Amino acid sequence: MTSEVNTRNGLHFLVQDHLSTSASGAHHFRLMDPDGHHYFGKFQPGTTLGKLRYQNETMAFTHVQDDELEGIVDYVDRDDATHGVILELVEGTDLYAAIEKLLALPVEEKIALLSTVAHHLEGLHSGNIAHGDISLRNVMLKKSYENELHQGTHRRITSKDVLLVDLALASVNSISPYWFFIEQNHGLSGSWIYMPPEMLHSKMSSPAGDMYSFGVLAYILLYGKEPFPMEYGIDHVAYLVKKSYHLPSPPPLDFNGVEELVFHLLNPESRHRPSARETKEKLYEAL
């Protein structure tokens, strides 16, 4: 990466810091525009995969109506075949990075946090968008709440403190060019432990698939461990499908119906999973 980035629409940014590198080879940077405002840039050099990934993300963003999702600023398509997207910078942390603090929260605060994620999923699903990659790393807490978390004050979280990020695997009306490419060239993608079993066959993101991934996230947050043993490694999803798995009864939480809800979210049959709206309402009722 050079120290300057020019976008398709002629916007100009300076690269400030390299933030991280993802498993898929994407590089994440903090950028600055000529007025001194900061942005978040993700770039993948020289691959068709990178191109499709960010085109897919751009397409998904043009359909998003949920104001509380960070906005896309522009798509980058450079002569050296580097592809990327530039987004509004979220000052904060993802749930994965904050997991120790989050696990230490009282159960009702964890349930409140889950209800905010369900709220955002409801917003996406009502616009016919499936996120496709719900995981601890793709849910962000804004700085305002992160500070509270570090101070241990436990203010009740609201949906304004939370954002979903990473629409690279999203699909609009069940169509994702990126997933078609993945199917032909790479088998499956995404974060294995969150992947709904039906994705083994469908290779498409779907609202019901998001609810399964949300169930995995909820299980981790509420019980401090992953719902299924991972000794099967990358064949995990195949294992779940073949064994028509049984989730061990979750230990009671003393919160009206929440363990049952998590159990239903992890149902191998996608049609039996509660929707984002039902999930949000059940979580509100429990509080």
Ligand X SMILES: Nc1ncnc2c1ncn2[C@@H]1O[C@H](COP(=O)(O)OP(=O)(O)OP(=O)(O)O)[C@@H](O)[C@H]1O
- Residue 146 or 259: the one with the smaller Cβ distance to Mg ion is 146
Identity (one letter) of the amino acid at 187? G
| Min CB(140)–ligand X separation in Å | 6
State yes or no: residue 161 binds ligand X (CB under 6 A): no
Question: Which of 31, 60, 69, 70 touches ligand X (CB under 6 A)?
Answer: 70
State yes or no: residue 210 binds ligand X (CB under 6 A): no
State yes or no: residue 166 binds ligand X (CB under 6 A): yes
Interacting span for Mg ion (CB under 5 A) from 73-81, 82-90, 136-144, 234-242: 136-144
Residue with the CB atom nearest ligand X in the bound state: 22
Return d(Cα 238, Cα 201) in angstroms, integer. 10
- Give the angle 142-57-8 at the CA atoms, nearest 5°: 105
State yes or no: residue 101 binds ligand X (CB under 6 A): no
Burial 87-109 (b: 16+ CB within 10 A, else e): bebeebbbbeebeeebeebeeeb
Q: Which does 262 bind (CB under 5 to 8 A by kind): ligand X, Mg ion, none?
A: none
Residue count, binding to ligand X (CB under 6 A)? 19
The distance in angstroms from the start CA to the end CA of the chain is 48
Backbone angles phi, psi at 173, to 5 degrees: 50, 45
| Min CB(264)–Mg ion separation in Å | 26
63 forms bridges with which residues in the sheet?
none
- Residue 101 or 137: the one with the smaller Cβ distance to ligand X is 137
Six-digit token string for 90: 């979220």
Please report the DSSP string for 234-251 in residue order. GGHHHHHHHTT--PPPPP
At 93, which helix (H) or strand (E)?
A: strand 92-94
Structure-token match 């998001």, residue found: 210
DSSP-assigned letter for residue 91:
-
Question: Which of 11, 14, 16, 28 touches ligand X (CB under 6 A)?
Answer: 28
State yes or no: residue 194 binds ligand X (CB under 6 A): no
State yes or no: residue 93 binds Mg ion (CB under 5 A): no
State yes or no: residue 22 binds ligand X (CB under 6 A): yes
**Residues at the site binding ligand X, with contacts judged by CB under 6 A:** 22-24, 26, 28, 40, 42, 70, 87-90, 94, 137-138, 140, 165-166, 168
